[in-house]
Amino acid sequence: MKSFCGNYLKKLHIGNITAGSNVFMAPLAGYTCYPFRMMCRRLGAGLAFTEMVSANGLKYNDKATAKLLYTTDEESPKAVQLLGSVPSAFEYACKGEYTKDYDIVDINMGCPVPNIVKSGEGCALTQDLPLASRIIEACKRSGKTVTVKFRPGMNKSRIVVSEFARMCEDSGADMITVHGRTRNMMYDGEPVYEYIDAAKRAVNIPVIANGGIRSEEDAVRMMDRTGADGVMIARYGLEDPMIFARLTGRKTDATKLSLILDQAELAQSCFDETAAMEYVRKIASYFMKKIPGTKNYKQEMFRCGSMEELKKILVPIFGETEI
């Protein structure tokens, strides 16, 4: 079998930014905060995106929204994902203080969640190319590198992937990521490789393939079938972040225990104890998906009253478990 590292791994030029690898971690609401992004980057991810951030929230100085943008100089290049449907709000957010440290702005035009779509955001924008174009142009006026993540269309009878990809490039996007499922597929079923291949054939900017990648075999198949310039790992990155090391050939002696304890330390450095514990519990729950007896372990974790107590519970759970 082909290896990803031996056959497809490369640095990727995105506008005036160079990513160290063409294996990326997707933006995931509630999870891709600074500690998680740093873990993925240290394991080989070329980019790891913030969870989606409301452009309107930044325009109106919403403090909870702003907290999603915590970063440090160690994270470089930095990539933020913005969600919304108002071009002026995107321009304000891109030029504003909250995103000043971020090199790349990714525009969410693929979220399939009903309340997002009903608001005319996320995947709904694939049905309004003029508005989507104005949003991209508004972001480009900030001078930042701009990327777009989108789905091929709302359903198989409303596929717009080629024309949407061309619109993104014509509007100034420096890269696109195509999730190979339509909106009505949500997160189920196999990605449709032909949709991503169509996007790749339509543009000259880099195209990243997303959807259903849970192994090196999946990543190789995705590259073979689509001709994409790289892959984006999504939910499987929560369960097994070592996939980044496997795909990029990164040497590491990390175990689930060492990773989760590192995450606890990082979380404590940037969140208050309550928020840090909440985050570590979520990540630990994903890490233990394949470990027997997880229900009892989770109950123990949620009874903890301090981070030190939580760490003492994590050690026997993951101490004998190689990632």
Alpha-carbon distances of 307 from 62, 228, 277, 302, rounded to whole Å = 28, 42, 6, 11
Ranges of the chain whose pLDDT falls below 50:
321-323
The pair of three-digit structure tokens given for residue 127, joined into one six-digit string: 């049905």
What per-residue confidence (pLDDT) applies to 295?
Answer: 83
Q: In whole angstroms, what is the distance from residue 288 CA to residue 159 CA?
A: 38
Alpha-carbon distances of 210 from 97, 194, 218, 277, rounded to whole Å = 30, 13, 11, 30
* Structural contact between residues 56 and 116, judged by C-beta atoms closer than 8 angstroms: no
What per-residue confidence (pLDDT) applies to 275?
Answer: 94
Angle at 299 (CA atoms; ends 293, 301), nearest 5 degrees:
105
What per-residue confidence (pLDDT) applies to 241?
Answer: 96
Cβ contacts of residue 312 below 8 Å, gap of 6+? none
Q: Does domain 4-248 have CATH number 1.10.3720.10?
A: no
Q: In whole angstroms, what is the distance from residue 255 CA to residue 239 CA?
A: 13
Hey, where are the domains in the chain?
4-248, 256-318
What per-residue confidence (pLDDT) applies to 320?
Answer: 53
268-302 residue pLDDT tens: 999 999 999 999 999 999 998 878 778 888 888 88
What per-residue confidence (pLDDT) applies to 262?
Answer: 96
Catalytic residue list contains 111:
yes
25-69 residue pLDDT tens: 999 999 999 999 999 999 999 999 999 999 999 988 888 887 899
Residue at 110: amino acid letter: G
Of 5, 33, 94, 111, the catalytic one is 111
Q: In whole angstroms, what is the distance from residue 132 CA to residue 153 CA?
A: 13
What per-residue confidence (pLDDT) applies to 35?
Answer: 97
The whole-model pTM stands at 0.95
Helix (H, G, I), strand (E, B) or coil at 267: helix
